[in-house]
Amino acid sequence: MFYWFLKFLALGPLLKLIFRPWAEGTENVPREGAVILASNHLSYSDWLFMPLVIPRRVTFVAKAEYFEGVGLKGWLQRRFFSGAGQVPIDRSSGTAAAGAIRTQLRLLSEGEVCGIYPEGTRSHDGRLYRGRTGVARLALEAKVPVIPVAVINTDVIAPPGKIIGRYARPGVRFGKPLDFSRYEGMQDDRFILRAITDEIMYEIMRLSGQEYVDMYATDAKRLAKEQEKQAARERARAEAEEVIDEIAD
């Protein structure tokens, strides 16, 4: 109930009034029945704008810690995240990845719409990165279609590392459902999982217009940080050499 209050009476109307989000392909999202929405991930605001433009509830999995706070602050945090369409990962499965799939399988078995970011983390530079195969395993085990989704301009509104950026109209494009029933029973074949994931990522790339990088986003972020550190060391070395040269003169 709180989800619908936020979406239609509180937060949703405010976001629509301020940002005027646009959408394409909403007819591709079924009015009922389980489905996976696989989206690119540009900003922390993606999970606000993507569900806003379709009438159905979209559920994402979130860290269990968000739901384990104590006192008034913990209660408010739990209410907000659950009301905003997020559920905690089932940690009884041993790992976060296994717990996320277990939780999403339960939701899909109940006919829900599950939102997932195959890249696993936000893009730090606006490019689209290699997808994790969890989305493929989920689609095969749940036997549900996958709808590729592209969010647009959310990284302008809320860039990585910032709470707020510049004003822009966010957009959401929904592609046609992808049916992978031809691979039924092959969820343990890593080559099939990779092929399915790559097909999904290709459709997201086509919808978003992003440059695709065949590297995991986490690895790309790590590499970028290492390059920044190296550049900083080189600048410091150059500045030190300039000082030494001035003293020598």
User: Which segments within 175-238 are labelled E, that is strand?
Assistant: 212-213
pLDDT tens digits for range 166-202: 999 999 999 999 999 999 999 999 999 999 999 999 9
Average pLDDT over residues 60-85: 75
pTM of the predicted model as reported, rounded to 2 decimal places: 0.88
pLDDT at residue 135 tops 80? yes
149-186 residues labelled b (16+ CB within 10 A) or e (exposed): bbbbbbbbbbbbeeeebeeeebbbbbbeebebeebeee
DSSP assignment, residue 26? G
Question: Looking at residue 82, what is its pLDDT?
Answer: 72
Average pLDDT over residues 78-82: 73
Shortest CA distance to 195 belongs to which of 136, 114, 129? 136
User: Which segments within 153-206 are labelled E, that is strand?
Assistant: 171-174
Say how far apart CA 147 and CA 139 lie, in whole Å.
Answer: 11
pLDDT at residue 74 tops 80? no
Would you kindly state where each structural domain of the chain is located, as residue ranges? 2-215
Shortest CA distance to 123 belongs to which of 218, 209, 190? 218
Question: Looking at residue 248, what is its pLDDT?
Answer: 64
pLDDT at residue 83 tops 80? no
Q: Note the CATH number of domain 2-215.
A: 3.40.1130.10
Question: Looking at residue 75, what is its pLDDT?
Answer: 79
Tell me the C-alpha to C-alpha distance, in Å, between residue 65 and each of 69, 81, 87, 91, 134: 7, 11, 11, 11, 21
Average pLDDT over residues 104-131: 96
Residue pointed to by tokens 């690895």: 219
